Structure 1
């Protein structure tokens, strides 16, 4: 059959396709016709309602027939989500390291790091190294890419707010070992309890990521109802446990910069959780009605 491809800019063109061709087959044919438009760069829609054609489906699933017209949008240069995450989490690792190690040079004062600063530095590095390892070995992405230009916006949250903004203040001389603030926040029992709570939250977060990974076989976009740690109460326990980890970190440091980061991050995760919660309810009629989006028994 012949279908007409109508780009947003440029002249329409025709393609010869098998009646049982898949969306991926169509994208490959478009790529041959327009080499710069590789598959992840294409957004294809069909019909008056502009239904998006999804990989893994056949054209016949959308009732596309001979001489039909399909709209094509160029999404622009793309970058893989795995690369995006690796770049995002590298920033805080770099800035926490530099601002802790070279705090004397940055602040122009030589001082001894307090116990709180040492523990905060260790916990921050552990968190972001864990995220890097999960990105490389755990996460399976339902969407392969995003527009390359968005990496700057996505990275700003982690590099600036989670990196520079926090590290500059909490590793400053104001919280050094000889200051009253540094001594007040460095009690052995206090630090130990908060460190353990942070570790528990991080381990629970990691376990949820493993549960989500095992729901989706490699190379597929399969979606199932998740069960296990935290899922009896909320749709996104990974976001809940991460919020708990950063709340503990904020209590440990007792600095407003950490609380700002925690509040902003929690707000963003809550928006994502609401969206995923609605998707689960829409996609699975049998989805547990007692589950909340992110906060148990609340919302």
Structure 2
């Protein structure tokens, strides 16, 4: 049966959309992407700012291959248009997130005397004011942080392919706060405090070797994930190979291993352990979500994993 001209009923959901007409004539074999483009042109908003749902409240996900007929939209079908508000692309979000600790940690070294020259009463336990230079351990920890986040920034620019183009601008502070406060100010203040002593040689060098292994392995798994997705597409494949035979998300596994090595070099300082533990908690949650998504999306083609982030444990 050939394509036919249909009319969709358009209804705003949430705040009013003054430019949105009540009807939209469109071909039944038009893609969902074409529908988003048409509504974006009518409203004057970016297509990434819009969310289109059907009358059963199911999300009509953008797709260049799925047609309106495939989506069970016919003549006189109703769709609901929601304005998601101002958006920011995910690449920019990641760049801003990682910029925080990349700037903050070196500042603790560069302005060490000014920062630790005055210690408020409630932080007296962190040590007396210092005029001594940073220790070799502290300089090494700072270098590890800088290299880690430079790697993250470069991966964001040249490696990662994002399944979602944008997120609401209003969520930017929430998304960046963790890296700027927990990973930047909180971790940095106590790691570079005068009370931090030199790590024992065995702990120091073992920690560095584990960290290097974790960083390189994390990069390798990011390359595997990149190669699953064609440029400009949002399609997904089943990841296999290095690390993926052990857990759902080896990229997260190696990430938490790297911060474990970092905490090890600090002498198991509480702030380093708190940052490691919070990262483990968050990424375990994300890895569990990915495991469930893989099972749902790929069915019997996907080999289910018992552990998502730490082999045989979690």
TM-score bin, normalised by smaller chain: over 0.9
Give the secondary structure class of the aligned counterpart of 2:221: helix
Cα distance in 1 for residues equivalent to 2:201 and 2:307: 37
For 1:241, the equivalent position in structure 2 comes to 254
Cα distance in 2 for residues equivalent to 1:135 and 1:204: 17
Q: Which moved more, 1:287-296 or 1:135-144?
A: 287-296
CA shift, 1:32, in A, is 2.0
Cα distance in 2 for residues equivalent to 1:6 and 1:274: 36
Of 185, 188, 199 in structure 2, the residue corresponding to residue 167 of structure 1 is 188
For 1:255, the equivalent position in structure 2 comes to 269
Matched, 1:195 2:208: yes
Task: Describe how 1:91-106 pairs up with structure 2 within 5 A.
Answer: 91-106=100-115
Of 34, 38, 41 in structure 2, the residue corresponding to residue 32 of structure 1 is 41
CA shift, 1:103, in A, is 1.0
For 2:278, the equivalent position in structure 1 comes to 264
Q: Is 2:97–2:176's contact at 8 Å kept on the other side of the alignment?
A: yes
Q: Is 1:100–1:167's contact at 8 Å kept on the other side of the alignment?
A: no
Cα distance in 1 for residues equivalent to 2:204 and 2:51: 51
Q: Is 1:232–1:291's contact at 8 Å kept on the other side of the alignment?
A: no
Cα distance in 1 for residues equivalent to 2:206 and 2:313: 26
For residues 217-263 of structure 1, give each alpha carbon's deviation from its aligned partner in whole angstroms, at most 9, with x where no partner exists.
10111211111111001110111111111111111112111111111
Aligned pairs, number? 289
CA shift, 1:47, in A, is 2.8
For 1:54, the equivalent position in structure 2 comes to 61
Cα distance in 2 for residues equivalent to 1:295 and 1:278: 17
Give the secondary structure class of the aligned counterpart of 1:17: strand
Task: Describe how 1:63-142 pairs up with structure 2 within 5 A.
Answer: 63-108=72-117, 109-142=130-163
For residues 162-192 of structure 1, give each alpha carbon's deviation from its aligned partner in whole angstroms, at most 9, with x where no partner exists.
00101111112222xxxxxx14x2x333211
Q: Is 1:198–1:244's contact at 8 Å kept on the other side of the alignment?
A: yes
Cα distance in 2 for residues equivalent to 1:132 and 1:248: 21
Cα distance in 1 for residues equivalent to 2:254 and 2:116: 34
For residues 22-77 of structure 1, give each alpha carbon's deviation from its aligned partner in whole angstroms, at most 9, with x where no partner exists.
12211222122211x210011111132x1211111211111101111101111111
Q: Is 2:159–2:226's contact at 8 Å kept on the other side of the alignment?
A: yes
Which blocks of at least 5 consecutive residues in structure 2 are unaligned?
1-5, 118-129
Cα distance in 2 for residues equivalent to 1:290 and 1:34: 45
Cα distance in 1 for residues equivalent to 2:286 and 2:207: 27
Cα distance in 2 for residues equivalent to 1:77 and 1:164: 29
Q: Please, what TM-score do these two structures have when normalized by structure 2?
A: 0.89
Cα distance in 1 for residues equivalent to 2:304 and 2:41: 47
